Chains A and B, each alone.
Chain A
Amino acid sequence: MALVKYILEDNSEVTIEAHVGQNLMQIAIENDVEGIEGACGGSCMCATCHVKVESVNGVELEERSELELEVLEMEIDEVATNSRLGCQIEINKEIESITVRIESIQSI
């Protein structure tokens, strides 16, 4: 179990207790967290679950994969060092809590 805090675009916050094995996109969809579309269902292909990681407690996250970085660069105007696809961050036993800011790209 880990605490996942989402900071929404209006700066309001939603905190959810998440299970090991779930990723940040799935958790957001299951809990109706606004701003995460998860269009490709976690296939690392669309960036509609773009978040910026503000903090992690317990462990350091793994580096972005080549594909994740490629998708971010194709879809996001300015990719920050903490830009991630929510679907690529899976809750594991080591993560105690994580805070991410939602950077929605649903609108065009």
Chain B
Amino acid sequence: MEKILKTVCPINNDDIDADITSHDTFEKGFPHMAFKRMRDDDPCAWVDEKDGGKGFWAVTRYNDIREVNGLPKIFSSAQGIRLEEQSKEEFEARKTFQETDPPIHTRQRMMFHRGFTRKLVSTYEPLIREICNDILNDAVDLSEVDATKEIAKKLPMRMLGRVVGTPDEDAEWLVSRGDAMIANSDPDFTDHVIDKVDTDEYRFLPFRSPAGKEIYDYGEKQKKLRENHNMGDVMSMLLQPDKQGDKLSDLEFKNFFALMVAAGNDTTRYTMASSMHALANNPYIFDYLKSAPDDAPIWLSATEEFIRWASPTMHFRRTATEDYKLHNKKIKEGDKVAIWFTSGNYDERKFSNPFSFDLERENNQHIAFGQGGPHTCLGMWLARLEVRVAMQELLKRVLKIEQIGPEKYLRSNFIRGIKNLPVRLTSA
């Protein structure tokens, strides 16, 4: 039988003129056709914002995204990385190293980087398999499950918690608080939907969310536990002075903890959900991977393709520090520029047959982790490892995955994800 290792991406939202600022747009699925039109006709497009924002340039082609991302002096992160307009006070209260530029960024990031290097992360594989064991055995027993809720949502925080040093029993609560922050535009995850209710009183908290306060308090408690006691986990490591003798300030630690709980969870979750969606709908891919041993090279290319396919962080914003010309458009100093990684990962100019899921895609230089600039994802090695191990362990336990109802998408113009994926698992 011929190997069929490719499949075509389902286009749920084919609105060619979709409003890419609207959270509602993305609830219908990623508007691939609208982004394709922008890549083809207007790759550096001015987009007005209806929520009082001053508008932004949308950069949608792969090479242009890498160009902007690779010029942090001209396209700064130090005035915000999301489209939201912030006062200086709000910005200062909530900022993490993500909202800084080199050389300040380099120093701060290196403090955190110690806990997430490829060398260190590669030692976590047995631990991650063990966590998969508990969660997947429970899910497979249920037979009919929401695969996002019962698998993809549970694994990343349990994994992250073990690595950074939070107790297993807190994982579910941390996930719910993380969701309330980063999914602050989806009523399934928060009562304080950012574009529906007044969130002004929370403006100094991470993601303008009351959950930010709960996470701050929790982070502070964890820090206290480690003040005079090295618990041998990543949090203890981060609280030690670095080689230069610098230590994280209280606010730096709290904001990083909030960022880790929010961003460290949902992006990996939605990558796993998207991967399971691909496996459920493409039996050939399922069968091929199921027969591949854990150390087969196909797993490495498959993992990169799972990540490109999911591209959960749709964009980040930069702010121009000087005038800059791109595709004959004059980006002015002070303008907001959004680089749309998801669009770049489906750019026909870079990827052959980008709407095909290709298990054997060669030299897959996707930018799902924001590659090409100093802010590339700190957790990318952990994410890669988690996605690969979770899919390997899932396939060992099932003979078949069938989707038994329509998937539902997150209501967010920032994070892309399948928030509900009803499936039937036939256990092996």
Contact = CB atoms under 8 A, between A and B. Distances in A.
Given A41-B69, A41-B70, A77 B119 contact: yes
Contacts of A70: 110, 243
A43 B72 CA distance: 10
A64 B372 CA distance: 22
A41 to B, nearest CB: 4
Nearest to A46: B376
A18 interface: no
B384 interface: yes
Contacts of B122: 108
B63 to A, nearest CB: 9
Interface in B24-77: 66, 69-70, 72
Given A29-B365, A40-B373, A45 B66 contact: no
A86 interface: no
A41 B119 contact: no
Contacts of B106: 43-45, 67
Interface in A24-66: 29, 32, 34, 37-48
Contacts of B119: 74-77
Given A29-B365, A108-B381, A42 B70 contact: yes
Chain B CB count within 10 A is highest, among A40, A44, A76, for A40
Contacts of B117: 74-75
Contacts of A107: 300
A41 B373 contact: yes
B369 A32 contact: no
B313 to A, nearest CB: 14
Contact of B385 (A46, A48, A77, A108): A108
B400 interface: no
A105 interface: yes
Interface in B385-403: 385, 388
Nearest to B377: A39
Contacts of A105: 118
B347 to A, nearest CB: 14
A77 B376 CA distance: 21
B374 A43 contact: yes
B114 A74 contact: yes
Contacts of A77: 119
Contacts of B385: 108
B385 to A, nearest CB: 5
Nearest to B243: A70
A107 B384 CA distance: 8
Contact of B110 (A29, A32, A45): A45
A51 to B, nearest CB: 16
Nearest to A36: B365
B97 to A, nearest CB: 11
B427 interface: no
B363 A43 contact: no
Interface in A62-108: 67, 70, 74-77, 105-108
B365 A45 contact: no
Nearest to A34: B363
Nearest to B362: A34
B118 A41 contact: no
Given A42-B70, A45-B106, A67-B106, A74 B373 contact: no
A37 B118 CA distance: 14
Given A34-B363, A108-B384, A41 B66 contact: yes
A41 B371 CA distance: 7
Interface string B324-336: 0000000000000
B48 to A, nearest CB: 30
A37 B365 contact: yes
A32 to B, nearest CB: 6
Contact of A45 (B113, B118, B384, B388): B113
A45 B109 contact: yes
Contacts of B194: none
A39 B341 CA distance: 13
Interface in B256-291: none
B18 interface: no
A47 B70 CA distance: 16
Given A32-B363, A45-B106, A40 B114 contact: no
State the 4 A-B residue pairs at the shortest beta-carbon distance, nearest first: A43-B374, A41-B70, A41-B373, A39-B371
16 contacts: A32-B365, A39-B380, A41-B66, A41-B70, A41-B371, A41-B376, A42-B70, A44-B106, A45-B113, A45-B376, A46-B376, A75-B118, A106-B304, A107-B300, A108-B121, A108-B122
Interface of A: 29, 32, 34, 37-48, 67, 70, 74-77, 105-108
Interface of B: 66, 69-70, 72, 102, 106, 109-110, 113-114, 117-119, 121-122, 243, 300, 304, 362-363, 365, 369, 371-374, 376, 380-381, 384-385, 388
